[in-house]
A and B are shown apart, each in its own frame.
Chain A
Amino acid sequence: MSVDTATVKKVASLARIAISDADAERLAPELNNILGWIEQLGEVDTSSVEPMTAVIPNKLRLREDVVTEGNQRDAVLQNAPQGEHGFFTVPKVVE
């Protein structure tokens, strides 16, 4: 399948990356080239193969349901581009 500039813009929008029309024009053939190359996987018969879920067998652990590193509001907010009154702040989302 072939990716056109409209698809590139749609994917970029899903990925929340602003791109210009020129970017989309440039990216479409690049992505097509890569996706075309990836499609050689179609040659492999995987009809009786399970998809890999863990590369090294390892049982997922459960931990005690207790607070381990709490009360660190200032540390959490320290690298925020903008914070006020102990919160992260963002542009207004509700009119």
Chain B
Amino acid sequence: MSGITELGVAELRDGIRTGKFSAREVADAFIVKVSQGKALNAFIVETPEHALAAAKAADEAIAKGEPLKPLSGVPLGMKDLFATKGVQTTAASHMLEGFKPVYESTVSQKLWDAGAGMLGKLNLDQFAMGSSNETSYFGNVISPWRRGGGDNAPLAPGGSSGGSSSAISARLVPGATGTDTGGSIRQPAAFTGIAGIKPTYGRCSRYGIVAFASSLDQAGPMARDVRDCAILLENMAGFDPKDSTSLNLPVPNWEEALSGDLTGKKIGIPAEYLIDGTPTEIAKLWEAGIAWVKDAGAEVIEVSLPHTKYALPTYYIIAPAEASSNLARYDGVRYGLRELADGQNLQDMYAATRAAGFGPEVQRRILIGTYVLSAGFYDAYFTKAQKVRTLIAQDFENAFSMCDLLLTPTAPSSAFALGEKSADPLAMYLNDVFTVPASLAGLPAMSVPAGLDAGGLPLGLQIIGRPLDEQGVLNAGLAIEQRAGFAARPEQWW
């Protein structure tokens, strides 16, 4: 049946349930799409057999009249940062090329337990370090979007979850997992005209996610709309004894409680997010977003987050520091690459392995992290950053004493061309200016597609909520989605 791959997670789930199509038909349709989408380089490994097995289980349950699971027969993409048992898991690095975990990440296990199938492992920035998907050892991911006017320059799908964003917006998968350390779900979602939510830190287990910066890393769903994000998040979140920072709280029924009615809600507009150089289109879109949430019944007030400008430099101390510690595990002994020339000793082996196994951006961040943690500099950099982080979190607390949610742009620009920013690490880092603050404060935040720029490229709006208020974030996202009427999609060229 054609047209299946036009459907989202909710429609696929419901269609399988009501017999409109079989789970096998769904799996087959998406497997074909994935195989035709190779020009996007969104997948590192394709796993049609996994999707087909989930489809078979769903169709057999239907035939026997057994109850279906929440995601029975829905095929998904899995960011290649999640350990999947027996399926290569690389974090897009040479270091882990060929690594087949002997265990499953908690988040992916939850999705399989809910009946979902896996279409493949999605490409990303190496060890999730990047904002454009140009640091993958397995090549750049290409956005399905192109600028108008015959400009065919390949564009960045955002990062680090760029395989996820590219595959969803190209309709190769109806939904996918992402992870977000400083904006790696929200910025790629904004660049490709899809939705994505980073939940409160601790909602999703980090067990089996290749670690980048553990005090910031959080998994979340990416999909075409807000409802699909709610459905996926319900099936990813939940307490896990295997993660010491996992929150021991019940998972709310986010989908059931979705409502675009914002009556009684106060939405704050942080003045500091209007930064120099913000394109007028983004400022205008923000204005439109304010009008939309007012139309949905919310009251809009101006708030101040005075330490906003310090969020990025704080992040670029804390995240590399944690990364340098986390990535110390890649030593060429227990798993992954080993480089050992004849006559070399153990120390030589470590250094050669890590030089060969880590790409330039990963090495750069490990070096920064090692430097800021080194004797004599620890207090000046790392402790200082953790203090500023406290102030950034307090800014949000103060704002949330006056309002329920915050509305901001997701990124300071639309998608840029591949290669446009890769020569200047700092220019690339600045792309996360609007997403990093909520990460530092552990807050739930989502990006929803809201409009197009003059070049016809998608722009997103971000909603940030109080800790644990994913529902508020999703509802405001829904209110914007209902009013933005975002229906644009990339023209198929791949």
A contacts, CB < 8 Å to B: 3, 7-8, 11-19, 27, 30-31, 33-35, 37-44, 46, 49-56, 58, 60-61, 63, 72, 75-76, 78-82, 88, 90-93
Q: Does B442 contact A55, Cβ atoms closer than 8 Å?
A: yes
List the 8 closest A-B pairs by CB distance, nearest first.
A51-B386, A55-B442, A81-B338, A79-B335, A18-B351, A46-B387, A18-B355, A16-B350
Main secondary structure of the interface of A (DSSP, over half): loop
B132 smallest CB distance to A (angstroms):
17
| Chain A residues positioned under 8 Å from B331 (CB to CB) | 16
| Chain B residues positioned under 8 Å from A72 (CB to CB) | 102
User: Does B344 interact with chain A (Cβ within 8 Å)?
Assistant: yes
| Chain A residue at minimum C-beta to C-beta distance from B468 | A56
User: Does B349 interact with chain A (Cβ within 8 Å)?
Assistant: yes
| Chain A residue at minimum C-beta to C-beta distance from B391 | A49
| Chain B residues positioned under 8 Å from A61 (CB to CB) | 241, 244, 248
Q: Does B310 contact A3, Cβ atoms closer than 8 Å?
A: no
User: Does B370 interact with chain A (Cβ within 8 Å)?
Assistant: yes
A35 smallest CB distance to B (angstroms):
7
A18 smallest CB distance to B (angstroms):
4
Q: Does A56 contact B442, Cβ atoms closer than 8 Å?
A: yes
**Could you list some 29 contacts between A and B, CB below 8 A?**
A11-B370, A11-B371, A16-B351, A18-B348, A18-B355, A33-B425, A35-B371, A37-B426, A39-B313, A44-B307, A44-B391, A46-B388, A49-B388, A51-B386, A51-B390, A52-B387, A52-B393, A55-B215, A58-B245, A76-B334, A79-B334, A81-B333, A81-B336, A88-B334, A91-B345, A91-B346, A91-B348, A92-B345, A93-B345
Further contacts, 10 of them, CB under 8 A, given A16-B354, A39-B313:
A11-B371, A16-B351, A34-B364, A37-B316, A44-B391, A50-B387, A53-B386, A55-B440, A58-B245, A80-B333
Q: Does B371 contact A80, Cβ atoms closer than 8 Å?
A: no
User: Does B33 interact with chain A (Cβ within 8 Å)?
Assistant: no
Cα–Cα distance between A60 and B165 once the two chains are bound (Å) = 35
Q: Does B374 contact A11, Cβ atoms closer than 8 Å?
A: yes
Q: Does B364 contact A33, Cβ atoms closer than 8 Å?
A: no
Cα–Cα distance between A76 and B248 once the two chains are bound (Å) = 29
User: Does B400 interact with chain A (Cβ within 8 Å)?
Assistant: no
| Chain A residue at minimum C-beta to C-beta distance from B382 | A51
User: Does B197 interact with chain A (Cβ within 8 Å)?
Assistant: no
- Partner pick for B335 among A17, A54, A80, A92, CB 8 A cutoff: A80
| Chain B residue at minimum C-beta to C-beta distance from A10 | B374
Q: Does A60 contact B244, Cβ atoms closer than 8 Å?
A: yes
| Chain A residues positioned under 8 Å from B467 (CB to CB) | 56
B234-251 residues with Cβ-Cβ distance < 8 A to A are 241, 244-245, 247-248
| Chain B residue at minimum C-beta to C-beta distance from A36 | B426
- Partner pick for A31 among B340, B368, B386, CB 8 A cutoff: B368
Cα–Cα distance between A57 and B372 once the two chains are bound (Å) = 26
User: Does B384 interact with chain A (Cβ within 8 Å)?
Assistant: yes
Whether A81 touches B374, Cβ cut-off 8 Å, given contacts A41-B388, A55-B393, A55-B442, is no
Cα–Cα distance between A81 and B337 once the two chains are bound (Å) = 7
User: Does B358 interact with chain A (Cβ within 8 Å)?
Assistant: yes
Q: Does B336 contact A38, Cβ atoms closer than 8 Å?
A: no
Cα–Cα distance between A76 and B103 once the two chains are bound (Å) = 10
- Partner pick for A90 among B333, B372, B383, CB 8 A cutoff: B333
B130 smallest CB distance to A (angstroms):
15
User: Does B389 interact with chain A (Cβ within 8 Å)?
Assistant: yes
Q: Does B368 contact A34, Cβ atoms closer than 8 Å?
A: yes
B80 smallest CB distance to A (angstroms):
16
| Chain A residue at minimum C-beta to C-beta distance from B355 | A18
User: Does B45 interact with chain A (Cβ within 8 Å)?
Assistant: no
Q: Does B371 contact A17, Cβ atoms closer than 8 Å?
A: no
Cα–Cα distance between A88 and B370 once the two chains are bound (Å) = 27
Cα–Cα distance between A53 and B104 once the two chains are bound (Å) = 29
